[in-house]
Amino acid sequence: MIDIIAITYISFYPSSPVLIYSINIFDFLLCVILFIEFLYNIRMEKDKWVFIKENWTDILAFIPIYYFRIFRFTRLIRLLRLLKILALFRKYLKGLFKFLLETHMDQAIGILLFAMFCGTLLFYSTEWGVNPSLKSLADSLWHAITTTMAGEVIIAPITFYGKLITILLMFVGITFFWVFNSITSIMVC
């Protein structure tokens, strides 16, 4: 988990060379451990090609992030790092997807994302040119995200329809978190 967080951090945020070097060393040591584990698991399997075919993402996981530097001439470095993060996180993703499907949280998340997308476009179309705080579509997206996820209105709507859209986004966010809390409470009990 620490490696996933560290690689994500240096992939998307400016970092000092010392921090990047330290994370690369930690990642290299973890890759050695993952490589040894992979060799042990493949040795125990009867059909090695089936094992490799089913666990090919593990190969990405034990390639040190430092060696992705050879792709620096392209913009694929972040994509490759993201693939490495997903490969490291693959074992946890199976359980997460199973949980989402069993509890129908996938549908709730879909509704939430759809509401944020529609809320962004509708808020932008009703407030653009009227609201001096709204300067771009990105501002409208940020308004939709913070309204649904935190209940915080960062751009106060001016028009009637802007206020109505903001109320609906708040309602969707409150409903989503109510459903999420209900499901997790049932799962814990």
- pLDDT at res. 158: 94
Indicate if 16 and 71 belong to the same structural domain: yes
Which tops the pLDDT comparison, 162 or 184? 162
Residue 31 lies in a domain: yes
80, containing H or E segment: helix 77-103
Residue 188, pLDDT > 80, answer: no
Domain ranges, residue 124 = 104-188
Torsions phi, psi for 156 (to 5 deg): -70, 125
- pLDDT at res. 73: 46
Indicate if 64 and 145 belong to the same structural domain: no
Say if residues 123 and 141 touch (Cβ distance below 8 Å): no
Indicate if 85 and 108 belong to the same structural domain: no
State the Cα–Cα distance between residues 125 and 104, nearest whole angstrom: 32
36, containing H or E segment: helix 17-44
Of 54, 70, 94, the position where a domain reaches its end is 94
Number of structural domains (the chain) is 2
Residue 33 lies in a domain: yes
For residue range 69-85, what is the model confidence (pLDDT) as tens digits? Answer: 554 544 455 555 566 66
Distances (CA, A) of 88 to 7, 43, 56, 65, 125: 11, 21, 12, 12, 41
Indicate if 10 and 72 belong to the same structural domain: yes
Q: Tokens 């330290």 belong to which residue?
A: 22
Residue 13 lies in a domain: yes
75, containing H or E segment: none
* pLDDT bucket at 9, cuts 50 / 70 / 90: confident
Residue 99 lies in a domain: no
Say if residues 166 and 153 touch (Cβ distance below 8 Å): yes
Which tops the pLDDT comparison, 23 or 91? 23
pTM above 0.85, yes or no: no
Which tops the pLDDT comparison, 179 or 3? 179
Distances (CA, A) of 47 to 37, 38, 42, 96, 188: 17, 14, 9, 28, 39
CATH number at residue 121: 1.10.287.70
Other Cβ atoms closer than 10 A to 56: 10
